[in-house]
């Protein structure tokens, strides 16, 4: 074959350009995901909670985690929301969970600022939780105990800590999995609290 | 940073959870019901260990979910109802077999689309007119002569 | 000192690779014989430099030089020597170095075996390999440097993940990488052809042996990985459709298509543009398979050190390699004019169908693996795509593929009739149908289909050979004499197809496996799959860097002892992890498989399996790889042999 004549037809040229276009699109997608991952907006291991925007799940009153605290059920939560007319944060934690200690100062700070935080201890020993709260302070207005973790599953919990923001109508407005960093509190939790106050 | 911390929660989940064994006590006594529960469990994703079904995983949460599936099976619920129960709590993420909905049309159509694309390429190739073989260059003529002579 | 030497050799390799990328390509463009002739020497030089670097890392690992960060992180002085050696590629940095070493070896191999190639082709191929190499060695030197020092050096290393301390996994990466990286050679040939603007039958003949060799290694590598997860993870499974597994399956599917379409290029001078695209695509998928899984984007059970910054470097590198290749394809391929003409019903027609089906399966696997990512990116929705999807979507494409696999080799080139092929195959179809129908009485539809497909494939390969020697059509002695005349490539094809049948039988067998989870105390007995399993003893057994707990199980059938097996649990204090040690006893028709779980109140939780035909899954893969190797040994395909003829520009038919 001598020098090939120029290709005929635009369609043939376009067809042979498809692989490049497809690879470029896929590459751009991967790049966008990598950038989001770096920025912390995308986490392949995180699960979005489908309850956001919906009413809190119903659950029978849970017992108190330790003698010093008061347990609660969904009815108590709704009553309190109705009575105060202000949003409440529900925080799931456990004394055996290392990251929970990382977010503990943030919880203390929010309680100090007058924000109501209700806690649910996930599969925790009464004595351990009491010890932790004794040492580092108790941010919880009420602290219930979910011994077998079933109520937590009704909330779509997949790890501890997780935090939910409930508005006064009893609708879940915010959900954070993993420890709340000071920046998360400043940039995400506080604005939502103000919005639904 | 946040990512690293989230991973910390699951310190107990290294490369692969080695204990995918559940307590036989939590298995249903009726083998048919147990088989159904297992089939449902294989369609549900273990949320903390990624890419394993709850039947394969040794994670604590997977064990709880296995247990719940069996309770619902024992209560006589249909597979659909049980999966819907899980989806209400964990979203479509929990389904290893994605539902057929607008978002996944492309996914479920992928085998057919791939075949159609293949057919289109073949049709395109067959339609093309083939030029007659190019005449031999002077050098090739000479070489051909050499070859034929020898 | 030794690590510095390795570090220096690595830097040297970058320089040589850069020269290997530039000089031969310039030489080929200018028809400068001296520059073109520099290609093999540069390829050898790059290989030597990388071998030196790799040797230095190996040495540091063997002598437990914990001042090297990488070794402090992944080794420990008590580790057995074998794992000190294989541990070198057990982590990210070391495995990248191994990857680069194999890529350099590919360049050197083309230099060594490609003497009879036209000088310009050889120079371009080695040049393209050098350019690819330069990028990845640079990646190793800059963001994945295995020679980084640690000061002060720790007294003891961190130890490696005990799951990786296993002979199967130790040799998994070199074999798998030989497959992945081996496809760089067809890739380089494709680019060389695009640069030159010409693809002919000789090109098909050059590419096929390299593609076959890489394919055989990749087949072996995937099988080894699957076998490892079967006996180490202890889930009783062997394939999880995990992104990392899919990433290795994709180049295998594309590579299988390539091996077949290259035949059409060679025999019929057709399908040329497609084959060039496949050669590019296969290596591109290999690259994605090795590197994308390390970026942390994909959600996998197989953890690798995830580092987004490293991920961006990888992505840029992949974009350069794959983007350049596909841009060159888009620009130059329109000049490659189609020449081959063929009827749909012919050997080449069947090979086209085979390509469509294989590539469709690849497209489905790719779509399923990346769909959650793009659903998240474009719709913000979280979905999962797991085993149930892949099984459902791949099966409808695999079944027609199996049908074509048997009929295709019976058809003649150019123009064929279906009837003679079907007449030869009627008893195979009947046998498959009988097995399938028989199986439906005992099992579900999926395993029954699998058994039928397996009978069809194995007997079909047999009929292929019978047809070639015209058994029962010629006198028996003549037929047997013809046996020796069958080209090795034909033997290889038939054997590889039978291997697929063996694997399919294993998969179907695993689908009817029985298992039971029990909690029993020592002395107690359970029944499963016609066997009596007695837990004789629970005991402690110390190991070199772990402590183990073992359960002795005696398996009997009709009072006869079939096996004594001791599944166990090991805990590694240094790494603070526990692993399960699966016990497997096989007689090739079924595996007895036992895993020890937790112990409570003197009772041990045991998971017992009877996995029918399980070993056939990997046996079939070995047979497939062997078939590939046999084709490779065919004189007509031997790497240097056809080249004397090919040196003449006359297009070989």
Report how many domains make up chain C: 2
The 3 state secondary structure assigned to C571-624 is: EECCCCEEEEECEEEECCCEEEEEEEEEEECCEEEEEEEEEECHHHHHHHHHHH
The 3 state secondary structure assigned to C192-218 is: HHHHHCCCCHHHHHHHHHHHHHHHHHH
Query: pLDDT tens digit string along C182-224?
Result: 999 999 999 999 999 989 889 999 999 999 999 999 999 999 9
- Report the alpha-carbon distance of residue A132 to residue A111 in Å, rounded: 17
The two tokens of residue A142 are 């009420």
Residue in the block written with tokens 């297992």: B38
Q: How far is C577 from chain B (nearest CA, A)?
A: 8
A190 and A152 share a domain? yes
Residue A183, domain member (yes or no): yes
Mean confidence (pLDDT) of chain A = 88
- Report the alpha-carbon distance of residue C280 to residue C325 in Å, rounded: 7
CA dihedral over C629, C635, C641, C646, signed as positive or negative: negative
Chain-centre distance for alpha carbon C535:
39
A22 and A95 share a domain? no
Confidence of residue C369 (pLDDT cuts 50, 70, 90): very high
- C597 and B21 within 8 Å at the Cβ level: the answer is yes
Residue C412, domain member (yes or no): yes
Q: How far is C334 from chain A (nearest CA, A)?
A: 5
Query: pLDDT tens digit string along C511-545?
Result: 999 988 888 999 999 999 999 999 999 999 988 87
Whether the upstream peptide bond of residue A161 has omega within 30° of 0, thus cis, is yes
Which residues of chain C are within 8 Å of residue A3 when distances are taken between CB atoms? 197
Domain span at residue C604?
514-614
In this predicted structure, the answer to whether residue C648 has a pLDDT above a threshold of 50 is no
A30 and A83 share a domain? no
Mean pLDDT confidence for C464-492: 86
Cβ neighbours of residue A159 closer than 8 Å, sequence gap 6 or more: A177, A178, B6, B9, B10, B48, B61
Cβ of C558: how many Cβ atoms within 10 Å? 8
The two tokens of residue C261 are 């379409």
Report how many domains make up chain A: 2
C608 and C538 share a domain? yes
Residue of A nearest to B62 (CA): A158
Mean pLDDT confidence for C323-351: 87
Phi, psi (rounded to 5 degrees) for B92 = -65, -15
Which residues of chain A are within 8 Å of residue B130 when distances are taken between CB atoms? none
Confidence of residue A7 (pLDDT cuts 50, 70, 90): very low
C→A contacts (Cβ < 8 Å), by residue, are 197-198, 200, 273, 277, 280-281, 284, 292, 295-299, 308-309, 311-312, 315, 318-319, 322-323, 326-327, 329-330, 333-337, 370, 373-374, 376-377, 382, 651
Mean pLDDT confidence for C381-390: 92
Instruction: List the single range of C231-245, C340-354, C632-646 with lowest mean pLDDT.
Output: C632-646
CA dihedral over A55, A59, A61, A64, signed as positive or negative: negative
Top pLDDT among A10 and C271 is at C271
Residue C411, domain member (yes or no): yes
Q: Which chains are within 8 Å of B by 3+ CB pairs?
A: A, C
Residue C163, domain member (yes or no): no
Residue A54, domain member (yes or no): no
* pLDDT for residue B111: 96
Mean confidence (pLDDT) of chain C = 89
- B89 and A155 within 8 Å at the Cβ level: the answer is yes
Query: pLDDT tens digit string along C412-434?
Result: 888 888 888 888 899 999 999 99
ipTM here: 0.87
Domain span at residue A37?
10-44
Q: How big is chain B by its Cα radius of gyration, in Å?
A: 29
C window 332-351, beta carbon within 8 A of B: 337-339, 341
Query: pLDDT tens digit string along A68-80?
Result: 889 999 999 999 9
Sequence ranges of the domains in chain B: 2-102, 103-149
Confidence of residue A15 (pLDDT cuts 50, 70, 90): confident
A16 and A79 share a domain? no
Cβ neighbours of residue C558 closer than 8 Å, sequence gap 6 or more: none
CB burial class (10 A; 0-12, 13-18, 19+) of residue C362?
A: buried
DSSP label at residue B92 = G
A38 and A79 share a domain? no
* pLDDT for residue C651: 35
Residue of C nearest to A24 (CA): C323
Of C464, C483, C502, the domain-final residue? C483
Q: Is A40 on the interface with C (CB under 8 A)?
A: no
- Report the alpha-carbon distance of residue A165 to residue C395 in Å, rounded: 46
- Report the alpha-carbon distance of residue B64 to residue A123 in Å, rounded: 12
Q: Which superfamily is assigned to B2-102 in CATH?
A: Cytochrome C biogenesis protein (1.10.8.640)
Residue C32, domain member (yes or no): no
Residue A51, domain member (yes or no): no
Q: Which CATH number covers residue A162?
A: 3.40.30.10
Question: pLDDT over 70 for what percent of chain C?
Answer: 94
Query: pLDDT tens digit string along A141-193?
Result: 999 999 989 999 999 998 889 999 999 999 999 999 888 999 999 999 999 99
Residue A69, domain member (yes or no): no
A85 and A125 share a domain? yes
Select the residue of A153, A178, A184 nearest B64 (Cβ to Cβ).
A153
Residue C478, domain member (yes or no): yes
Query: pLDDT tens digit string along A106-138?
Result: 999 999 999 999 999 999 888 888 888 888 899
Confidence of residue C334 (pLDDT cuts 50, 70, 90): confident
Cβ neighbours of residue A182 closer than 8 Å, sequence gap 6 or more: A106
Phi, psi (rounded to 5 degrees) for A96 = -85, 0
Confidence of residue C641 (pLDDT cuts 50, 70, 90): very low
* pLDDT for residue C457: 97
- Report the alpha-carbon distance of residue B124 to residue C586 in Å, rounded: 51
Query: pLDDT tens digit string along B90-116?
Result: 999 999 999 999 999 999 999 999 999
C464 and C524 share a domain? no
Query: pLDDT tens digit string along A22-51?
Result: 999 999 998 888 888 777 777 766 788 899
In this predicted structure, the answer to whether residue C280 has a pLDDT above a threshold of 60 is yes
Element (H or E) spanning C6, and its range?
helix C2-30
In this predicted structure, the answer to whether residue C503 has a pLDDT above a threshold of 80 is yes
In this predicted structure, the answer to whether residue B19 has a pLDDT above a threshold of 70 is no
Query: pLDDT tens digit string along C70-105?
Result: 888 888 887 888 888 888 888 888 989 999 999 999
In this predicted structure, the answer to whether residue C642 has a pLDDT above a threshold of 50 is no
Residue in the block written with tokens 């013809």: C482
Query: pLDDT tens digit string along C582-635?
Result: 999 999 999 999 999 888 888 888 989 999 999 999 999 999 999 999 998 876
What is the three-class DSSP state of B9?
helix
Residue A58, domain member (yes or no): no
- B133 and C359 within 8 Å at the Cβ level: the answer is no
Mean pLDDT confidence for C12-30: 96
A89 and A172 share a domain? yes
């Amino acid at each position: 074959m001598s020098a090939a004549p120029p290709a005929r037809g635009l369609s043939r040229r376009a067809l042979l350009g498809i692989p490049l276009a497809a690879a470029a699109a896929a590459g751009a997608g991967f790049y966008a995901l990598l950038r989001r991952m770096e920025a912390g907006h995308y986490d392949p291991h995180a699960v979005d909670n489908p309850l956001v925007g919906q009413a809190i799940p119903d659950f029978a009153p849970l017992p108190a985690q330790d003698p010093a605290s008061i347990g609660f059920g969904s009815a108590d939560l709704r009553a309190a929301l109705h009575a105060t007319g202000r949003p409440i944060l529900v925080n799931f934690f456990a004394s055996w969970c290392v990251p929970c200690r990382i977010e503990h100062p943030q919880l203390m700070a929010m309680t100090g600022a007058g924000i109501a935080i209700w806690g649910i201890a996930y599969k925790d020993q009464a004595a351990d939780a009491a010890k932790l709260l004794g040492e580092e302070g108790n941010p919880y207005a009420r602290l219930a105990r979910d011994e077998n973790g079933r109520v937590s599953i009704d909330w779509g919990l997949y790890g501890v800590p997780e935090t939910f923001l409930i508005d006064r109508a009893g609708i879940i407005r915010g959900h954070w999995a993993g420890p709340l960093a000071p920046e998360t509190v400043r940039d995400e939790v506080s604005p939502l609290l103000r919005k639904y106050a | 940073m946040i990512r690293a911390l989230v991973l910390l929660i699951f310190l107990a989940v290294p490369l692969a959870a080695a204990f995918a064994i559940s307590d036989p006590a939590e298995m249903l006594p009726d083998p048919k019901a147990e088989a159904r529960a297992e089939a449902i469990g294989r369609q549900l994703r273990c949320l903390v260990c990624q890419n394993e079904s709850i039947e394969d995983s040794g994670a604590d949460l997977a064990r709880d979910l296995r247990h719940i599936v069996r309770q619902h099976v024992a209560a006589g619920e249909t597979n659909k109802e049980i999966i819907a129960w899980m989806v209400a709590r964990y979203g479509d993420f929990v389904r290893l077999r994605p539902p057929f909905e607008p978002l996944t049309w492309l996914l479920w159509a992928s085998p057919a689309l791939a075949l159609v694309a293949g057919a289109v390429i073949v049709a395109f190739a067959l339609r093309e007119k083939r030029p007659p073989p190019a005449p031999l260059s002077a050098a090739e003529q000479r070489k051909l002569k050499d070859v034929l002579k020898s | 000192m030794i690590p510095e030497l390795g570090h220096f050799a690595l830097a040297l390799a970058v320089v040589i690779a850069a020269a290997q990328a530039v000089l031969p390509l310039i030489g080929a463009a200018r028809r400068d014989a001296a520059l073109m002739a520099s290609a093999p020497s540069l390829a050898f030089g790059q290989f030597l430099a990388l071998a030196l670097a790799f040797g230095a890392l190996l040495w540091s690992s063997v002598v437990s030089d914990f001042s090297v960060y990488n070794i402090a992180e992944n080794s420990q002085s008590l580790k057995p020597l074998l794992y000190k050696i294989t541990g070198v590629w057990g982590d990210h940095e070391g495995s990248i170095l191994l990857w680069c070493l194999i890529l350099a070896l590919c360049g050197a191999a083309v230099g060594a075996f490609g003497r009879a190639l036209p000088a310009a082709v050889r120079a371009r191929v080695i040049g393209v390999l050098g350019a690819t190499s330069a990028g990845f060695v640079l990646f190793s030197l800059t963001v994945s440097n295995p020679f980084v020092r640690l000061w002060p050096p720790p007294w003891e290393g961190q130890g490696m993940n005990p799951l990786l301390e296993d002979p199967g996994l130790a040799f998994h990466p070199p074999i798998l990488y030989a497959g992945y990286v081996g496809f760089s050679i067809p890739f380089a040939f494709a680019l060389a052809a695009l640069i030159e603007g010409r693809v002919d039958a000789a090109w098909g003949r050059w590419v096929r042996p390299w593609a076959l060799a890489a394919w055989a290694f990749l087949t072996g590598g995937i099988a080894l990985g699957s076998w490892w997860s079967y006996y180490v993870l202890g889930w009783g499974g062997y394939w999880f459709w995990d992104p990392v597994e899919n990433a290795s399956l994709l180049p295998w599917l594309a590579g299988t298509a390539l091996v077949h379409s290259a035949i059409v290029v060679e025999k019929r001078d057709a399908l040329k543009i497609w084959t060039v695209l496949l050669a590019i695509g296969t290596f591109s998928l290999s690259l994605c398979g090795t590197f994308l899984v390390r970026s942390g984007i994909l959600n996998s059970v197989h953890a690798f050190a995830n580092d987004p910054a490293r991920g961006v470097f990888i992505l840029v590198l992949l974009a350069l390699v794959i983007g350049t290749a596909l841009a060159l394809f888009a620009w130059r391929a329109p000049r490659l004019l189609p020449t081959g003409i063929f009827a749909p019903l012919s050997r080449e027609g069947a090979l086209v169908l085979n390509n469509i089906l294989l590539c469709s399966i690849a497209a489905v696997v790719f779509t399923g693996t990346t769909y959650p990512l793009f659903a998240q990116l474009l719709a913000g929705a979280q979905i999962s795509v797991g085993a149930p999807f892949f099984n459902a979507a791949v099966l409808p494409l695999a079944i027609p593929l199996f049908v074509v696999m048997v009929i295709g080799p019976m058809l003649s080139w150019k123009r064929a009739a279906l009837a003679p092929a079907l007449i030869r195959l009627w008893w195979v179809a009947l046998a498959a149908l009988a097995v399938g129908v028989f199986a439906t009485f005992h099992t579900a539809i999926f395993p029954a289909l699998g058994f039928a497909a397996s009978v069809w494939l194995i007997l079909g390969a047999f009929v292929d050979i019978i047809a070639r020697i015209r058994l029962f059509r010629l006198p028996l002695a003549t037929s047997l004499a013809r046996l020796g005349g069958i080209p090795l490539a034909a033997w290889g094809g038939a054997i590889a197809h039978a291997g697929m049948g063996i694997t399919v039988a294993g998969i179907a067998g695993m689908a009817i496996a029985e298992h039971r989870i029990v909690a029993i105390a020592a002395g107690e007995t359970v029944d499963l799959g016609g066997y009596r399993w007695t837990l004789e003893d629970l005991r402690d057994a110390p190991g070199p860097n772990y402590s183990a707990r073992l359960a002795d199980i005696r398996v009997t059938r009709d009072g006869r002892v079939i096996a004594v097996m001791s599944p166990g649990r090991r805990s590694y204090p240094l790494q603070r992890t526990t692993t399960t040690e699966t016990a497997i006893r096989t007689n090739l028709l079924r595996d007895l498989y036992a895993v020890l779980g937790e112990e409570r109140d003197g009772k041990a939780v045991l998971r017992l399996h009877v996995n029918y035909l399980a070993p056939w899954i990997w046996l079939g893969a070995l047979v497939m790889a062997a078939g590939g190797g046999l084709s490779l040994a065919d004189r007509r395909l031997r790497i240097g042999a056809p080249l004397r003829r090919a040196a003449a520009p006359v297009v070989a038919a």
